A and B are shown apart, each in its own frame.
Chain A
Amino acid sequence: MTTHTSLSEADEAAWTELVRNGISMSIFGLSDMVGKEVKAMEEIRPVKIPVHQAPDLLGGPEAITLAVYLQVVGAARGHMVLVFTPETAFDLIDLLLDQEPGTTKELGEMEISTMGEMGNIMGSFFLNTIADSTGLDLQPTPPAVMMDMAASVLDVALAEILLEADDIIVADTMFGTEDRLINGTFLILPSHDLVDVVLHKRTTS
């Protein structure tokens, strides 16, 4: 079993920098997609927390969320989850589909596809940035779009992480535009192996 109780300060700093760059690039990808400047609302700082506290990052276990979930596959495994309140997601869908605000009221095939595409873009930008820094082959799976309680949409990711360890290094990023139209959270949930592989590769490359 791998744990990160011994992650050095230098490793933590290196991981933080990689994740920060990756998330910045994925937000850039989102800006490009929506045609508006989107910015991180706060400093991106990965933290280590007990796995069972992860749903609290999304407003609590029963908070209703719209989530786009992608797995990281390839050299190591991990999870990426893009999370919005349903209202924000519907606003975003209207923006992306060039519709009047308030048009989207539920998730149909087109809306799911639109949110999935956004997840694809953000996930790919993030992983490409990590790959560029490390040379590792990391790819996103096709996205799964879910609207339900926060804890329930994170279950599959957290179950896989709990198979290895009871804590997790999580990067929780709020982002939005000047008028806060796009206000979402991008969660990076790496397996401990992913952190190890990325840091090792970075040191040796």
Chain B
Amino acid sequence: MNAAPATTTAEKAVIAGLGQVKTSTDPHEVLTCLGLGSCIGLTAYDPIAKVAGMCHIVLPEDPGRGGPPSPKFANVSVPHVLSEMEKLGATKRHIIVKLAGGAQMSSAPGMTSAFKIGEKNFEATKRVLAELGLRCTATETGGNRGRSLRLYVDSGKVLVSSVGSEPQEL
């Protein structure tokens, strides 16, 4: 049993897994984040150049423990998707960003702090967007439910789905 309908046969789902960034100009592709809990799914779309990008952000900020920068962190992922989209012809001032996820999946006693990572991810992502001067026009975040996020490259349409409810356009 799955939470949301799959893409149609003409469409090809491109999955942004945990900590991954995907970009596309292929009108048949649907950039997809599946089962976001505390993670943030970010869609970025230039409607003029028809360039799409998606981030699956897991953690707010790189704590600087060494190693190469990883897009699992908000402060690495968002600049990275912007740079990759610009390489494909996107213009920063045209890009529209939407966010989903950042849930607190449980409020079990003793674990409230751990489960607040969703809120921290959302705040960090908003801060990075502001620093980069990117426009965020819609959010579907918080609460205590998982979400899947789909960005249709041909139209820029963004759908959010949860268990037990119809997909909603964001």
Query: Interface on A for B, CB 8 Å cutoff?
Result: 1, 51-53, 55, 60-64, 69, 71, 85, 141-156, 158-160, 162-164, 166
Question: Once the chains bind, are B146 and A156 in contact (CB under 8 Å)?
Answer: no
Q: A156-B37, A163-B59 are in contact. Are A141 and B111 (CB under 8 A)?
A: yes
On whether A159 and B34 interact (CB within 8 A), knowing A62-B148, A141-B110, the answer reads: no
A85 to chain B, nearest CB (A): 8
Asked if B34 and A52 make an inter-chain contact with CB atoms under 8 angstroms apart, the answer reads no
27 contacts between A and B (CB under 8 A): A1-B65, A1-B67, A52-B19, A52-B20, A61-B35, A62-B3, A141-B108, A142-B108, A142-B109, A144-B108, A145-B106, A145-B108, A146-B106, A147-B163, A148-B145, A148-B146, A149-B146, A149-B163, A152-B36, A152-B145, A153-B37, A154-B37, A155-B117, A162-B19, A163-B59, A163-B63, A166-B70
- Partner of A1 from B58, B66, B72, B106 at Cβ < 8 Å: B66
**Chain B contact residue count (CB 8 A cutoff):** 38
Q: Which residues of A have CB within 8 Å of B163?
A: 64, 147-149
Contacts of A69 in B (CB 8 A): 106, 108
Across the interface, B35 reaches (CB within 8 A) one of A142, A147, A152, A162, namely A152
- Determine the residue in chain A with the shortest Cβ distance to B2: A62
Known contacts A61-B148, A148-B163; 7 additional CB pairs below 8 A are A52-B20, A141-B110, A142-B111, A147-B163, A151-B37, A156-B105, A160-B114
Q: Give every chain A residue within 8 A of B67 (Cβ-Cβ).
A: 1
Residues of A within 8 Å of B109, CB to CB, are 142
Given A51-B18, A52-B17, A155-B105, is A149 in contact with B34 using a C-beta cutoff of 8 Å? yes
Measured between beta carbons, the chain A residues less than 8 angstroms from B111 are 71, 141-142, 144
| Distance in angstroms between the alpha carbons of A129 and B169 in the assembled complex | 49
User: Are A144 and B66 also in contact (CB < 8 A) when A52-B17, A62-B148, A151-B37 are?
Assistant: no
Q: Which residues of A are found within 8 Å of B20, using beta-carbon distances? A: 52
| A162, B3: Cβ atoms closer than 8 Å | no
Query: Closest approach, in angstroms, between the C-beta of B35 and any C-beta of chain A?
Result: 3
Q: Determine how close the nearest CB of chain B comes to the CB of A190; give it in whole angstroms.
A: 16
Across the interface, name the chain A residue whose C-beta is closest to B66.
A1
Q: Which residues of A contact B4 (CB under 8 A)?
A: 62
In whole angstroms, how far apart are the Cα atoms of A153 and B2 in the complex? Answer: 14
The answer, yes or no, to whether B115 is at the interface (CB within 8 Å) is: yes
What are the residues of chain B within 8 A of A51 when measuring CB–CB?
18-19
